[in-house]
Chain A
Amino acid sequence: MTTTSPRARVAAVLAGAAALALLVTGCSSDNGSSSAKKTDASSTKTLAAAKTCADGFDSSTTFGLGTFLPLTGSLASLGPAAVAGAGEALSEINAAGGVNGTDACIISTDSSDASNPTIGQQNINKLLQAKVSAILGAESSSVTENVLPTVSAASTVMFSPANTDDALTGASKWYFRDAAPNSVEGNALGSQILSNGQTKVAILVFNDSYGTNLRDSIQKAVEGGGGSVVYGAKGKGQEFPATETTFGSTVSAALATKPDAIVVDAFDQTNQILPALASAGWNMKNTYFVDGNLNDFTTVAGIPDLTGAQGSVQGANPSDDFKKKLDNWYAKNQAGKKITAYTYGAESYDATIILALAADLAGKSDPASIQANVLTVTGAKADGSGPADGATSCKSYADCLKLIKGGNKNIHYEGQSGVGPLNAGHDPSSGYISIYQYEGKNYSKFITSIKGSGSK
């Protein structure tokens, strides 16, 4: 994935030329199988990663996905799942014959985080110069907000598997997402806290659009259900700066309000907040996590025992089969490295397949063709005004592709993440939030899955 040997590049070009030749001769129904890799036992075998796009590839004939995911920065712990999700999806796409008969390729870049905007901007420019078909990313809402104007101006599709900021609803006609917005998650988490009998809630929130938006919706749910937010409430000015390095004072100020429960609404700062909470004598089982920090802390030194703490995350609980697929793909293609959190893995997988199917439906994989067909493949009407009537459901890329090749233009890709059709604001019309509980330092106990409807 990282290097392309000259031979591989020649092979890719040859494969592309062969596919093109077949297309030209009008062999439309068979070209898929001729360039398809091996057998259809793809579901059990761990697939090799898609190739890196060649310099100057033509995105209208070759589906080139630019990934823009957090490989470094405060969200880096969530990077592997998304990389594996997108990677596995591309591998499956190629195993099923590619997009419009040509193998899909990938350019993977690092989005970093909102505190390091130059890295993200640089990599977005790299992807735009390479003229990719679509960009998968970013995970941080703030990073997306930084780069989206550039991406929109370049008329390229940007599909985020993880942005949850409500402000991104309808942000651009080029922007889509399949993660349930914060309002859905905040509502679910707030309700869960209250149903656990905890009514005085302190929220340790960092000053970032992700943090404060999620805080707002948690607060709404808590107050709406008869509880109160005693620390970190909106307008109190108790958010800590995103670059904060010392948390003793924040923690003792929060504990002074005598909360029943503390929500840690932050990214990587959580690694420093948890020891500070434990030092101050806080009972860790009354701690709540959000999707940005619901991680497996087993290998992190200095983290207290978290047994009993709970947290929320977008998406239905990914099936064990799917998790295993991601594990295997990542181990095979990333030199045996391991995934520690599966958050947004399913969303990344689905986003990649939705983009590829949109290109299949259009017959071309340039950004404008994909943009016009994304809503349709998610089972929505083309203008997003509601679910399309009589859309045929299909569960995998291969199945959906079969429908499209069979002339069905009205499909509904039902993915792994359980999101409903996208709406006019390019948000999922409904989505699942799962609540997990920590056992030791890992969130291994699934509590419940709550379906919520998206905003607007």
Chain B
Amino acid sequence: MEHRLARLVRPFAVALAAIGIAAGAVFAGQAAIADTGSGPISATKACVTDATTGCVAGTLRDDNENGIKGVEVTLANAAGESDKATSDADGRWAFKVTTAGPYTAKLDPGTLPKGVKASTTSVNVVVTLGQLRPAVFQLTGHPAGSKNTTQATRSGGRLVWDQFSQGLLLGLLLALASIGLSLIYGTTGLSNFAHAEQVTLGGMMAYTFGIALGLNIIVTTIIAVIVGGVSGYLQDKLIWAPLRRRGLGLTQLMVVTIGLSLALDYVFQFFYGTAVKPVSTEVEHITGPLDLTPTAYWSMLISVIVLVVVGLVLTRTRIGRATRAVSDNRALAAASGIDVDRIIRLVWIASTALAALAGVLYALVNGGIQWSTGVQLLLLMFSAVTLGGIGTAFGALVGSLIIGVVVQMSSLVLSSELKYATALIILIVILVFRPQGILGRRERVG
């Protein structure tokens, strides 16, 4: 419809412009002021280029980015032919030119409103037919009544703070995502590469229930966490428990997790395609002391609470103690009456449920989820748990915060391309000096 309208209107606009030019010429003939509109130059409302028309155009704005109306701009060529345009309510002015070559656009400072100054009043342009040539007049100041519509200004210190808050957010979400990785390693010794897909699964469930089925976000999150937990239960029942019974070595088990990871990636691609799937319908605004949206604050709070609860459960409850006993010495734990398989299954359920929660929150604060989101996070997750001390709950938190903050703040001084590299280099350096990780051994919980 719009295009058809545009097509209908365009000939009229051209006709009107032509009448305008004719009228201008008649007026010029009568008036004392020589506004000739002569030769190849003619002022116009909106210039559209074609094979025989070039455009010279610009927009005059004050420093609040509001258009300035009623300013006169003259375009002239070397032969002395010229025309005058007056800026419209948006500050726009434009000329049609039918001969290629050099032109000079001059702004009449006398027509600028009070409070606005032009640092340049003359701009030279070379016109090519069929092309648009912008002419920029640098203006400073603003007239009375011009409202500030520009961004809130950010100082250099503010930028550091912004990046720090982004780092904190990434760190806490990473911690939530990687705690399960650490727990599974702690109890079974397995490095689960398919953990990344558990994170993606959470995000995809948020899309499925929150967007595709339109459920409330809290309900959606609960469903996603349940689906995540169920997937952990089924995995352990159908894959990991039988493999454990058959006494498969850890290396082989790890290869199985890699295979499972790739298989799940393709399953996600099959069901959801490769596009980014949105999980939130609302656009939020950044508020509060950090450079973050309300959802991000909630996500960080949830992450901290969940991590503390997991830490307390491990250290203060019977199940937690049993879990630690299994991880320290499985045979001894079994001999002292602990149902080892049940504990391991519980750990799988908790780990995958937490990963799903992390997936929902990550998708919420980052504007969507994709089949590869988890995979992109996997190496960061491994780095975070290794850095913090693999197998420990609080280690995952400390490691994740370091990785998150370093990744986001490194772009202040280094190329953005290197941001993930920086985190991994720090990991290597720390491990060289402290192979067990920052909190390894000393506070070993899992």
Contact = CB atoms under 8 A, between A and B. Distances in A.
Interface in A191-217: 191-199, 207
A45 to B, nearest CB: 22
Interface string B264-304: 00000100011110111111111000011100100000000
Interface stretch (B132-140, B245-253, B340-348, B435-443): B132-140
Interface string B374-400: 001100000000000000000000000
Interface in A160-206: 187-188, 191-199
B152 A281 contact: yes
Interface string A233-258: 00001111101111111101101101
A272 B369 CA distance: 9
A199 B61 CA distance: 10
How big is the A interface, by class? 35 or more
Interface stretch (A56-64, A72-80, A121-129): A72-80
Nearest to A260: B65
Contacts of B4: 320
Contacts of A116: 274
Contact of B282 (A258, A286, A302): A302
Nearest to A444: B2
Interface stretch (B14-22, B77-85, B413-421): B413-421
B70 interface: no
Interface residues of B, number: 84
A212 to B, nearest CB: 11
B184 interface: no
Interface stretch (B155-163, B220-228, B313-321, B424-432): B155-163
B170 A246 contact: yes
Contacts of A445: 2, 6
A248 B365 contact: yes
Contact of B367 (A77, A112, A271): A271
A255 B420 CA distance: 22
A12 interface: no
Nearest to A244: B376
Given A258-B154, A275-B367, A269 B3 contact: no
A75 to B, nearest CB: 10
Interface stretch (A81-89, A139-147, A386-394, A448-456): A448-456
A150 B22 CA distance: 61
B351 interface: no
A275 B414 CA distance: 26
A238 B416 contact: yes
A446 B3 contact: yes
A439 interface: yes
Interface stretch (B24-32, B46-54, B324-332): B46-54
A116 B162 CA distance: 33
Top 7 A-B residue pairs of the complex, sorted by shortest distance between their CB atoms? A237-B415, A197-B59, A194-B134, A451-B130, A272-B367, A195-B134, A301-B278
20 contacts: A191-B132, A193-B134, A197-B67, A197-B91, A197-B92, A226-B123, A237-B417, A245-B373, A247-B367, A250-B411, A253-B159, A255-B151, A275-B280, A275-B367, A278-B285, A279-B293, A286-B65, A302-B282, A449-B49, A449-B50
Interface of B: 2-4, 6-7, 46-51, 55, 57-61, 65, 67, 91-92, 94, 123, 130-136, 138, 149-154, 156, 158-159, 162-163, 166-167, 169-170, 211, 269, 273-276, 278-286, 291-293, 296, 362, 365-368, 370, 372-373, 376-377, 408, 411-412, 414-418, 420
Given A73-B274, A246-B366, A281-B152, 18 more contacts: A116-B274, A191-B131, A192-B132, A192-B134, A195-B134, A197-B59, A226-B134, A238-B411, A245-B366, A248-B169, A248-B296, A250-B411, A252-B162, A276-B367, A278-B285, A280-B286, A302-B283, A317-B3
